[in-house]
Amino acid sequence: MTGTGAPTGEEDGAVVQRGSLDLTLRRLTRDRAAMVALAVIVLVVAMAIFAPVFASLTGHSPITQFRDTGLSPMGIPVGPNAEFWLGADQLGRDVLVRLAYGARVSLLVGVLAACCASAIAVIVGTTAGFFGGWVDLALSRLIDLVMSVPFLLCALALVSVLGPSLMLSVSVIVFFSWAAMARVIRGQVISLSRQEFVQASRSLGAGPLSIMVVDILPNLTVPIIVYTTMMIPSAIVFEATLSFLGMGIVPPTPSWGGMLADASSNSLYLVAWWMVFFPGTALLMTTLAFNIFGDSLRDALDPKSLRTARRLKRDRKGAAK
């Protein structure tokens, strides 16, 4: 109601809209931290895509053991040298090549799990929030239930019975990470449903599906994008943790968590620091990049979230009477 957002080009018929996407990109590209983070993410993706190139460049396949060149006569892995750029592991495998192939696993699991989990969260959250009543009660209790489960313990139990595999890792991660986001989405949907524009659609005779798709979902794009981005790093860490505990990716397939587990067993990393330094750094940098990027994305998509929310609140208060 104040003079904000004055229309530009009142008389001009073909008003050039600066779309919200354009604005978001502008804000994002101006954010240096976000650009660095994006560069790291691109680097990791490139590493994953070009993993075979590393293999052919060094002549080492990720699972071949070079016990004669990769291990010292006493069986200690060799450090970074001309042949093993980032050193070798306890079985004489090339750390660099395994790192590149490991990026595939981390990204695949991270992105896949985050997308699946957020899809489930959106479906459950919108259904619960929109329909309310018994549906909401049941789904909310389901969310509570999943959140009341000691997830790492259950994941261990599951894996111990069904045997570790990539698909199982993804399913376990999805199963235990959708609930928190579903709760957030549900809250958002409930407050959206109380908005007058939803009532307006309802009074026009719009069906529930139409209201959900046309009125509610477009208003959820920001939280969905932000939460999914933020879920990727936690899924990557989750997978690495499972692999670290020997419950994730089946050896000898390389994964960062598994490489760290190899380094940790028999405290080998105390003498072969490269076994922990490179996969550890890769893991940390990847999750950090995704976290920073997610944060910046949220700021860019919703720059005044706090301020706008407060202004709206105050206006509504004034409007109440």
Partner 1 sequence: MTRFILQRLAFGAVVLLVLSSFVFFLFFVAPGDPARMIAGDKATEAQLQQIRTNLGVDRPMIEQYATFIGRAVQGDLGYSYRNRQPVAEIIVRRIPATLSLVIGAVVLWLAIGIPIGLMSARHPGSLRDRLGQAFILVGLSFPTFVLGMMSLYLLYFLPKQAGFTLFPAGGYKAFSRDPLIWAWHLALPWTTLALTMAAFYARLTRGQMLDVMGEDYIRTARAKGLSERKVVWKHGMRAALTPLVTQLGADIALLLGGAIVIEQVYGLQGVGALAVQAVNNQDRPIIIGVVLLGGLFIVTANIVVDLFYVLLDPRIR
Partner 2 sequence: MPILQVDGLTVEIPTEDGTVHAVRDVSFSIRQGELFGIAGESGSGKSVLTQAILGLLPTAEISGKVLFDGRDLIGLPQDELRRLRGKDIGMIFQDPLSSLHPFYTIGAQIAEVLHTHETISRQDARARVVEMLGKVGIPDAASRYDDYPHQFSGGMRQRVMIAMALIMRPALLIADEPTTALDVTVQEQIVALIDEMRREFGTTVILITHDLGLLASVADDVMVMYAGHRMEYGPAANLFRAPAHPYTAGLLRSSPANYSPGADLQPITGRPPSLLELRNACVFAPRCAEALPACASATPPLRVFDDKTQSLCWLPDGARRQPATEPAARVHAAAAATVAAPVVEARDVRLTYTIGSFLGHKRQHEVLKGIDLTVHRGETVGLVGESGCGKSTLARVIAGLAPATGGTVSLLGRDLTSLDRAEWRQMRREVQLVFQDPFGSLNPRRRVGSIIGDPFRLHGVAAGDARKDKVRQLMELVGLNPEHYNRFPSEFSGGQRQRIGIARALALNPSLIICDEPVSALDVSIQAQVLNLLRGLQRDLGLTYLFISHDLSVVRHVCNRIAVMQGGKIVELADSETLFAHPQHPYTRTLLAAGKTPPQMTGERVRNLMPTTEVGP
Of residues 276 through 295, those in contact with partner 2 by CB under 8 A are none
- The contact pattern for partner 2, residues 219-238, with x = CB under 8 A and - = no contact, is x-x-----------------
Binding mask 6-45 for partner 2 (x = CB under 8 A): xx--x-xx-x-x----------------------------
131 forms part of the interface with partner 1 (CB under 8 A): no
Of partner 1, partner 2, none, which one sits near residue 73, judging by CB under 5 to 8 A according to partner kind?
none
160, 210, 265, 305: residue in contact with partner 2 (rule CB under 8 A): 210
Q: Scanning residues 157 to 186, which ones bind partner 1 (CB under 8 A)?
A: 157-162
Cα gap 296→229, rounded to integer Å: 11
Could you tell which of partner 2, partner 1, none binds residue 16, using a CB distance below 5 to 8 A set by kind?
none
Minimum CB separation of residue 298 from partner 1 in Å reads 11
CB within 8 Å of 192: residues ≥ 6 apart: 129, 198, 215, 216, 219, 220
Least gap, CB of 48 to partner 1 (angstroms): 19
Kindly identify the residues of this chain, within the stretch 227-286, that bind partner 1 according to CB under 8 A.
Answer: 233, 237, 240-241, 244-247, 260, 263-264, 267, 269-270, 273, 276, 280, 283-284
Rule CB under 8 A: choose which of 2, 8, 148, 203 binds partner 1.
148
Q: How far is the CB of 37 from partner 2 (least distance, A)?
A: 22
- By the criterion CB under 8 A, which residues form the site for partner 1? 141, 144-145, 147-150, 152-154, 156-162, 233, 237, 240-241, 244-247, 260, 263-264, 267, 269-270, 273, 276, 280, 283-284, 287-288, 290-292, 295, 306, 310
